[in-house]
Amino acid sequence: MDPTGKHCPKAPAYDPLLSSVPLFDPAQLPLRDWCAGSREDAVTGLVAFPDFHSHIPRALASALTGGGLVGLAIGDVDGLKGHVEQSNATDPGCYGHLAGNKVMARLGAVTRTWFHTQPWEAGCAATFGGDEVIIAAALDDATGFHRAVTQLRDRLADELPVRVSFALAFASAEHLPADRGAGGWKHHFTDQLLAAVDRCLFTHKATRRATGGEGGIIAITQPPLTGHTAARDHRTLLPLPTGAETLHVLARPAGTGTPGMLLLPCAGPAGLRGKRLRLTSPDGTAHTAVAVSLHGQAAVPRETAATDTIEGPGIPLTLQPVREKSARGVPDDLAAALEKEGLDWSVLPAHEQAQMLHLITESASADIRTARITAVIDAVATRTRS
């Protein structure tokens, strides 16, 4: 009730900002252990950036000095300005910037719900800039974080009129500065991490705009390393793509010891033969290259001269696996099962492939064939993890 004793009018059900009214319930904030006591952003309902920026340096430093693994992701709305201008021109009941607020309010609601389903013991989701979101978490493995951000990207695509692109990186104790005695190093280190991820995101978005590609990508980068070039802590590296997967990465020079090579933020392939990949460059051209392992990290040859200077944070590349040719064709039902599980048939040696294909072909019944295909899928999955 207002001071006159009259009942205050309720907001109409169609109020586009209804979902962004402050919650005043700390339990609803997307945080777990980190950034406790933070205020919420009034539009998104996420942790307000000033409080995030105040709390998160200590949280990251504590997790990394304790030997933990941290994931950091930044999401940016694709084409929000165009959506605002179109709404302003075509919807007489909704002036443009109100449409932008509606997008960000819904983005915040979806992110909050998604965050509370994650298994992380520590982490938070906060605002960043006008149309960006930051997710930080203490992790058990990098792959799980990448998968979780992919799920968030897909949920946002279902809920919003525009897409959201992400960039992410993983940090461990090896990324901490060697000299940590000076005051303020935690904030400086955190700003370096944020800058690395943000530059990766905008480098890939600039490439997408130049080539006319679609939004909603997830790009992977690495935080800057001091004193060495290849990652020593392989927990910070994602697997190379398999099956129908596509991976957007920011590649960087491998250093003076291995001129002419680009390091990928991925684990190196096992064996001496390497792994064939289809690489798409920023200009849209594609070629096949063999990724090899440099001290456990994947690397590919540079297309340009090794003496050419790379401007910016690195080279944005799109990676896709190359399906290796088999001496005998893979049956359609086996190929469908491999694709469904995202597995690469070529991880098996040729003699094992031939044996398994023979067993499948000679199956006496449909049930036996199905069981043998299941056994093959298990064998490929086991070899992929090993």
Q: List pLDDT tens digits, range 3-45.
A: 444 443 444 444 444 444 455 566 788 999 999 989 999 899 9
Tokens of 259: 């001129």
Give me the pLDDT at residue 354, please.
87
Lowest-pLDDT choice from 51-60, 208-217, 360-369: 208-217
* pTM of structure: 0.77
End-to-end CA distance of the chain: 66
Residue 2 falls inside a structural domain? no
Residue 6 falls inside a structural domain? no
Q: Do 36 and 167 reside in the same domain of the chain?
A: yes
Q: Do 60 and 190 reside in the same domain of the chain?
A: yes
Provide CB contacts within 8 A for 280, sequence distance 6+: 286, 317, 318, 320
Give me the pLDDT at residue 4, please.
44
Residue 5 falls inside a structural domain? no
Q: Is 104 exposed, middle or buried (0-12, 13-18, 19+ CB in 10 A)?
A: buried
Final residue of a structural domain among 321, 342, 366: 321
Residue 164 falls inside a structural domain? yes
Residue 181 falls inside a structural domain? yes
Final residue of a structural domain among 220, 245, 263: 220
Q: Do 204 and 296 reside in the same domain of the chain?
A: no
Give me the pLDDT at residue 325, please.
55
Q: What number of other Cβ atoms are within 10 A of residue 287's Cβ?
A: 11
Residue 124 falls inside a structural domain? yes
Could you tell me the CATH number of the domain that includes residue 24? Answer: 3.30.70.270
What does each C-alpha distance from 211 to 60, 79, 280, 285 come to in angstroms?
36, 15, 11, 10
Please, how many CA atoms are within 13 Å of residue 345, restricted to the half-sphere of its CB?
Answer: 25
Alpha-carbon distance of 200 to 222, in angstroms, equals 9
Q: Do 299 and 362 reside in the same domain of the chain?
A: no
Q: Do 210 and 257 reside in the same domain of the chain?
A: no
Q: Which residues constitute the domain of residue 270? A: 234-321
Q: What number of other Cβ atoms are within 10 A of residue 308's Cβ?
A: 10
Q: H helices of the chain, where?
A: 49-65, 80-90, 96-115, 142-159, 185-211, 332-341, 350-361, 366-385
Give buried/exposed letters for 309-343 (b at 16+ CB in 10 A, else e).
eeeebbbbbbbbbebeeeeeebeeebeebbeeeeb
Q: Do 148 and 249 reside in the same domain of the chain?
A: no
Q: Do 310 and 369 reside in the same domain of the chain?
A: no
Q: Do 158 and 298 reside in the same domain of the chain?
A: no
Q: Do 266 and 349 reside in the same domain of the chain?
A: no
**Of residues 294, 209, 373, the one with CA closest to residue 381:** 373
Q: Which backbone phi and psi does 305 adopt, to 5 degrees?
A: -65, 145
Mean pLDDT of the chain: 85
Q: How confident is the model at residue 123 (pLDDT cuts 50, 70, 90)?
A: very high
Tokens of 238: 């994602």
What does each C-alpha distance from 190 to 126, 193, 278 come to in angstroms?
14, 5, 34
Give me the pLDDT at residue 257, please.
64
Mean pLDDT of the region 108-124: 95
49 or 340: which leads in pLDDT: 49
Q: Do 204 and 250 reside in the same domain of the chain?
A: no
Q: How do residues 331-381 score in pLDDT, each as one tens digit?
A: 888 988 888 888 888 888 888 888 889 889 888 888 999 999 999 999 988
DSSP secondary structure letters along 112-137: HHHHTT---SSEEEEEETTTEEEEEE
Percent of the chain with pLDDT over 70: 85
Residue 224's identity, in one-letter code, is P
Q: Do 41 and 156 reside in the same domain of the chain?
A: yes
Could you tell me the CATH number of the domain that includes residue 260? Answer: 2.40.30
Residue 8 falls inside a structural domain? no
Final residue of a structural domain among 274, 297, 321: 321
Residue 227 falls inside a structural domain? no
Number of domains, the chain: 3
Q: Do 259 and 355 reside in the same domain of the chain?
A: no
Give me the pLDDT at residue 324, please.
59
Rounded to the nearest 10 degrees, the angle between the axes of helix 49-65 and helix 185-211 is 110
